[in-house]
Copies of this chain bind each other. A is one copy, B any other.
Amino acid sequence: MRRDLKNLKYVFGPRSVAVIGASEKPTKLGNVILKNFVDGKFAGKIYPVNPKHESLLGLKCYPSITKVPGKVDLAIFAVPAHAVPKIAAQCGRKGVRGAVVLSAGFGEVGNRKLEEELKKAVQKYNIAMIGPNCLGVMNPLKKVDSIFFPFYKFERPPPGDISFVTQSGGVGTCVADLASHYGIGISKFISYGNGASIDEADLIEYLSEDKETKQILLYIEGTRDGRKLMEAMMRANLKKPVIVLKAGRTEGASEAAKSHTGKLAGSYLAYQAAFRQSKVIEVEGLSELFHVVNAFSQPMPKGKRVAVLTNGGGLGVLTADSLEASGLELAKLSAKTKRAVVSTLPKGWTAGNPIDLIADATSEDYYKAVRALVDDEGVDSIIVIILFQAPALDSRVLNVLLGASDERRKPIFVVAVGGDYTEENRKVLDSHGIPTYDSPAYAASSLKRFTDYALSMRKTKKKG
């Protein structure tokens, strides 16, 4: 691995951080970032750097990076573009290992020379640089946070094992904000902007080796080196799922992408071929990207046979529609499972698949049915529909699902549609790694993606 890539560990887990261009004005980037580290209770040393101040937020402020007394692992740049390359070189001489350059005004506005200069400076000293022109990084576990969006507008996600590499800071923000809304944890969030020195392929390579990352999400519009990206994705995907959203697929969108990142989005057909060859999971839109996130936290299914459990008949019918349309199969239940289900129903009712526990179903009824399905050899995955609104149900049904999910024997997906009460219940499940969906179709298509990946990995591993 390249030496600067190895230094990425200091970007994600620095022992000390310098904020270059720290400021006292709340509207300034250099103030917001400094506050993130101070208020976020970053455990290491924090060094504000700005010749105009003696101290900031109660911390001693230094006139330049070279005057900082101790070692600095990470420097975050919030100064005008023209000043960045020179300070980057100072950082290199000081022994700084990582840099996040938030400043805009480089290649994206035609200032390619300045960007080249910056690239040379950081590469000379093997500094791992994220940016320029980006939101930078977030690692909730290590309290690293260079995102300049206010906390009250953008909730920060808890620590977790999903890492997200994004060319667009805005798209990244939306997904991370949604994730934190549902309590879904993030390991590393990286908005890499122009990717002048370290690009998306480098980041994927690094994350593929990162033990704290169990799946990699990627949002891209265009890349400089298609082959490099494909090879990085292919290698990473054998170790952990790589899920990709490619934007700029149509002509008008491609134009827009060009003016957004200064890169041509390129022929979508070529990207599609690369995704197929590297076997990564390509999703079709922002919401699908989010839908599959938690899906891949579940244990892998061994086949396509799905059991559907519900306390609302209509939702069961809709889920069966979506499953069959997606190419998954409705499992045939064992006699034992059927007996377990029938024991919960009024006289004369039978157990089909979808299994309709009817609106009277209690948490105990769900328990009996879920236990039977986890043990049923003919069932590969379970979709549990919960009409939380039903009067007979209480929150113990959450324990039923968490217990079954913790055994990690087969994937459990949940469908629940409704207002505040339902949303609060969904959050409990999501924050414990059980994916929930507000539509049968989303659950079915996410399960299909996951099943396809699981079966393709089984094949690859058998061959290998």
Contacts and interface: CB of A to CB of B under 8 A. Distances in A.
Contacts of A256: 313, 316-317, 320, 352-354, 356
A82 to B, nearest CB: 16
Nearest to A324: B250
A174, A252, A324 — most chain B CB neighbours (10 Å)? A174
B155 A324 contact: no
A255 B317 CA distance: 9
Contacts of A249: 321, 325
A142 to B, nearest CB: 22
A328 to B, nearest CB: 10
A448 to B, nearest CB: 14
A312 B150 contact: no
Interface string A139-153: 000000000111011
Contact of A173 (B170, B318, B352, B389): B389
A57 interface: no
Interface string A385-419: 00111110000000000000000000000000111
Give the number of copies in the complex.
2
A167 B388 CA distance: 19
B178 A252 contact: no
Nearest to A168: B314
A350 interface: yes
A259 interface: yes
A70 interface: no
A332 to B, nearest CB: 11
Contacts of A260: 313-314, 316-317, 356
A285 interface: yes
Contacts of A152: 421
A34 B359 CA distance: 20
Contact of A441 (B219, B284, B350): B284
Interface in A236-266: 247-253, 255-257, 259-261, 265
B440 A285 contact: yes
A175 B154 CA distance: 28
Interface in A107-154: 109, 148-150, 152-154
Contact of A171 (B32, B150, B312, B348): B312
Given A317-B247, A417-B177, A350 B252 contact: no
14 contacts: A153-B421, A170-B312, A171-B312, A175-B417, A221-B317, A248-B317, A249-B321, A250-B325, A251-B324, A253-B324, A255-B320, A256-B313, A259-B356, A287-B438
Interface of A: 27, 32, 109, 148-150, 152-155, 166-171, 173-175, 177-178, 180-181, 219, 221, 247-253, 255-257, 259-261, 265, 284-287, 311-318, 320-325, 330, 348, 350, 352-354, 356, 359, 387-391, 417-423, 438-442
